[in-house]
Amino acid sequence: MGQKQTEREINELTLFEGLQREDLVYIYRGVFSQVITDSIIALTENNLDSVGESSKLKKRVFSIMVECLQNITRHQFIDGRENVTADQSGLFVVCNKDKAYQMTSGNVVNNDAIPHLKKLLDKVNSLDKDALKDYYKQVLEDGSISSKGGAGLGLIEMARKSGNKLFYTFEELDEEISYFYMNTSISQQLEEAPIDFIDIQDVVSLHKFILQKNIMLIFNGGLNQKSLIDILSLINEQAFGKLERKKKMYNVMVEMLQNVVKHGAKYDESRPGGSPVLFYIGQNGEEFSLNAGNYIENTCIEKVTSKIDLLNSLDNNELDDFYMKSLLDFDVDNSKEAGLGLVDLRMKSGHKITYELTPVNDTISFILMQVTI
């Protein structure tokens, strides 16, 4: 394996392990629509239900999420710029860290709007609960309502409902626009003292990494059938060119994610939910690469990799024959056995399944599978 390939493997394993430590639920980068925001909220609801959070906490999390997502949707396009480049697309990150649910939104802003935005954020962060309530009323009565939805009411509401400051930073993209990151946190114990500091640069670094890898979605909750449907709803909204290719990508995604649901191992059995997964889509010219990474028990590695190697050695006619044999023959020799999911993945993609393995400890490894469309 070449140096570039090895470096990629290490980076993605490091990302995956970091997500496990910090209970990152998911990252979404791209254009935001109503269907996408609904799917993001549904994913969060499924995650909160799986860990048994109270209805009061869930209601507050959803309320703030709606404000964050509406803010991204309103401001994801810059006036006068018809196309949104990858580094200008919206960003939404949810993680469960330091006994709090942390939500970070990202969108582009005009540089000439930054002084006013900083002044507003600093004003909001300087006020206590009662003063925020009064300020909300003042802005509601006196503030002009813009074509994009308000005069800071959403920011004030996020601070009021979260009980915490809005941590933020700006990263300049060019002389006209910058990228605006903002974090809102809700303590799991709602009566806890306010959070003093959030290092938002962690999200900035993560954003740069996923831009470099052209990652659209990372999901790190327990992947079950409900969350699988919500993830596919997110993906189905993306523009992948021709309808035929989009259908093929969708079918391959289903196979890849279902494979993880059925066979992914858990590194930490104390974590609730199903098997964690790293899933993303990359693009190189007219080709898309679908990548799914998960933990695998070391005792299962030979069985899985031998299946993939066997499938990769077959041509289309041999694949058809092998599929029928696997479907009908329950006494297939272990050396040639292949799960129907992997067979479907190979057939539907029309390409070989590549994989990379990285040991984690004596019992668990990380496997990253990739299929090109």
Assign residue 77 the CATH number of its domain. 3.30.565.10
- Domain end call among 195, 223, 238: 238
pLDDT tens track for 78-108: 765 656 677 888 999 988 887 888 999 999 9
Q: How many residues does the chain have?
A: 373
Neighbours of 361 (CB within 10 A): 8
* 195 located within any domain: yes
- Which residues fall within 8 angstroms of residue 366, CB to CB, at 6 or more apart? 13, 16, 17, 293, 294, 295, 296, 357, 358, 360
Are residues 192 and 102 part of one domain?
yes
| Full residue range of the structural domain in which residue 334 is found | 245-373
Residue pair 30/280 in contact (Cβ under 8 Å)? The answer is: no
167: exposed, middle or buried (Cβ count in 10 Å: 0-12, 13-18, 19+) = buried
Are residues 220 and 106 part of one domain?
yes
Are residues 252 and 138 part of one domain?
no
Are residues 234 and 269 part of one domain?
no
Q: Report the pLDDT value the prediction gives residue 24, as an integer from 0 to 100.
A: 63
What pairs with residue 171 in β-bridges? 179
Q: Which of 11-15, 141-145, 331-335, 344-348 has the lowest mean pLDDT?
A: 331-335
pLDDT tens track for 191-232: 777 787 788 888 888 888 888 877 887 776 666 777 777 877
Q: What is the CATH number of the domain that holds 341?
A: 3.30.565
Residue pair 188/156 in contact (Cβ under 8 Å)? The answer is: no
Are residues 357 and 231 part of one domain?
no
Residue of 350, 353, 365, 356 lying closest to 315 (CA atoms): 350
Q: Report the pLDDT value the prediction gives residue 335, as an integer from 0 to 100.
A: 37
Residue of 36, 12, 5 lying closest to 210 (CA atoms): 12
Are residues 282 and 175 part of one domain?
no
Are residues 173 and 47 part of one domain?
yes
| pLDDT cut 90: percent of the chain above it | 21
* Range from 9-18, 177-186, 234-243 that averages highest in pLDDT: 177-186
CA quadruple 238, 240, 242, 244: dihedral sign: negative
Neighbours of 326 (CB within 10 A): 17
**Nearest-angstrom CA–CA distance, 134 and 316:** 69
Are residues 229 and 280 part of one domain?
no
- Check whether 27 has a pLDDT greater than 60: yes
Distance of CA 222 to the CA centre of its chain: 13
